[in-house]
Amino acid sequence: MGDLRFPIAKTLGNILVISSMGYQSRYILISELSSIDLNTIQMEAEIFELSEAVVKAKQKKSLSAKKIVRRAIEAIPKNFPTNPFSTIGYYRDYQLDKNRYINLNEAILEVYDQGFLELDQVTTRVRIYDYKLNYDFKRDLPAQQPYDYTGKSKTIDKSFLFNYGGNEFTILRIHDAIRNYKIDSYAFIHRLDTDLLKNHYFSKEPDTFMEDDALYAITFKKNYPGFRAHGRMFISKKSFAIHKMEYAVYDLSIRTVDKKQNKPDDNNNLLFKITTEYQKVDELMYLNYISFQNKFRLLLSPFMVTDIQLDLTNKCFNVTFNNEPNVRFAVSKDNYRIIYKGKKIVLNKIEFRNKKVILYPDLNFGEARNIFNELDKISTDEIFSPELLNFEFAKMRDLRGNYLNDGYYKQYTQFREFFVQQVNTQTNEPADTLYMKKDRPISKDQIIIKPLNFNNYWMNTPLKQ
């Protein structure tokens, strides 16, 4: 099933309960586990014991897969909390470089949620109990840079990750389509309550279970031009509560080394995958675990654009390179192409300063003011959407003769995950300002405050390879 670690010294004498859909729960005395060696725990598949069937003249027609999902979505306000609650757990984000962990960041967070009737992005607040950059794993600085859809130094191929003005944990929560069932969550799912049913084909798999709750297992899929989307839901047969939802999108254009097409669901084709699991607490469903993974390409090149900034005062763009460009190429207007809302912006003049090139658009005062004010209103730490503003560079070389972006792309997998360790079903958020600032990274100028019971929580750091 997987590897995990937990603070055995803090819970010695307690019972460890391991449960998973479709398997018999295991109850293990922690005192019997080794604190030095790896412990292997086998799970056994559950076998349903069916009662004797009685044949009747009239049988109630079974629900179709689509009707089951519809009922589950309609039952969200009944099955999920509508009053304030909090979840405390372990957050981590990291990347995989050929199955090796890099850039691991970890935190203990408490999330104060006002309930499913409120807009999560607006009303939910978070406290940071602890945060660390884990230097036991390799730090890869180029892979840590923000996504760059202008210089193309770091991109998600054929897709775009919006940050909605939030940091990495905010991005993760936005991808919980169940919690955000009334807003646009992510591609192809969009609004769960209005778009899932009309955009996908549904089918049933054999029923499974979680503890004593029998579950429908529903698969759904949709083929888009060049893409395949595939998901699964596990839904209570009794209450229609959603226990788990998985969704993945694959790029069908990716080929094998010998130019053959991969299987549609081959992991090499994966663009992104989201897994959200809920648990029952006091008859309502609360988040247990969420994972969002996506692949991205990192351009490894000796000469590239490292930053593009707006200069609102002078109504120009500041383009910064990692190396000093050859001045002959840097000052040629023909080497720059700026597209704003699908229209080309003509350049008036170019200034060159060491590693920086300053581009002045040929716009009258009113045009420049309107464009730059609009860009300023929507600018964030992330680079602009290419549909809004796009930069193209041609024939650029640095002083060493390297051509711009004349390198190769390396693929990484990015993970963001949150594991809930405690659910407080009745809680009010503290009346102070000691909350995470959502518009900046967790690691940047945030307030960290440990509660008196901080030792009850732990960082479930991955086992080092």
Phi, psi of 443 (to 5 degrees): -85, -5
Please check whether residue 101 is in contact with residue 266, taking contact to mean a CB–CB distance below 8 angstroms. no
User: Which residue type is seen at 233?
Assistant: M
The pLDDT > 90 percentage for the chain reads 55
Instruction: Tell me the pLDDT tens digit for each residue of 204-225.
Output: 999 998 877 899 999 999 988 8
Dihedral (Cα; 339, 345, 350, 351), 10-degree rounding: -60
Confidence at 52, pLDDT banded by 50, 70, 90: low
**Residue burial 215-225, b: 16+ Cβ < 10 Å; e: rest:** bbbbbbbbeee
- Model pLDDT, residue 380: 46
Confidence at 425, pLDDT banded by 50, 70, 90: very high
Instruction: Tell me the pLDDT tens digit for each residue of 135-150.
Output: 999 998 889 888 877 7
User: Which residue type is seen at 120?
Assistant: D
Query: Looking at per-residue confidence, does 13 or 451 come out higher?
Result: 451
Among 351, 345, 348, residue whose Cα is nearest residue 325: 351
Among 180, 193, 186, 191, residue whose Cα is nearest residue 117: 180
- Model pLDDT, residue 142: 84
For the chain, what is the mean pLDDT?
A: 85
Query: Looking at per-residue confidence, does 342 or 193 come out higher?
Result: 193
Instruction: Tell me the pLDDT tens digit for each residue of 231-268.
Output: 999 999 999 999 999 999 998 887 554 445 555 556 77
Work out whether the CA dihedral 61, 65, 67, 71 comes out positive or negative. Answer: positive
Confidence at 50, pLDDT banded by 50, 70, 90: very low
- 383 pLDDT above the threshold of 50: no
Query: Looking at per-residue confidence, does 229 or 61 come out higher?
Result: 229
Q: How many other CB atoms are found less than 10 A from the CB of residue 93?
A: 21
> What CA–CA distance (Å, rounded) separates 289 from 277?
5
Rounded to two decimals, what is the model's pTM? 0.74
Q: What angle do CA 312, 147, 133 make, to 5 degrees?
A: 110
> What CA–CA distance (Å, rounded) separates 169 from 415?
11
Q: What are the CA-CA distances from residue 115 to residues 77, 78, 203, 244, 393 (Å)?
A: 10, 12, 31, 19, 48
- 6 pLDDT above the threshold of 80: no
* Pairing of β 305-311 and β 284-300: unpaired
Instruction: Tell me the pLDDT tens digit for each residue of 271-321.
Output: 999 999 999 999 999 999 999 999 999 988 889 888 888 888 999 999 999
Confidence at 35, pLDDT banded by 50, 70, 90: low
> What CA–CA distance (Å, rounded) separates 87 from 126?
10
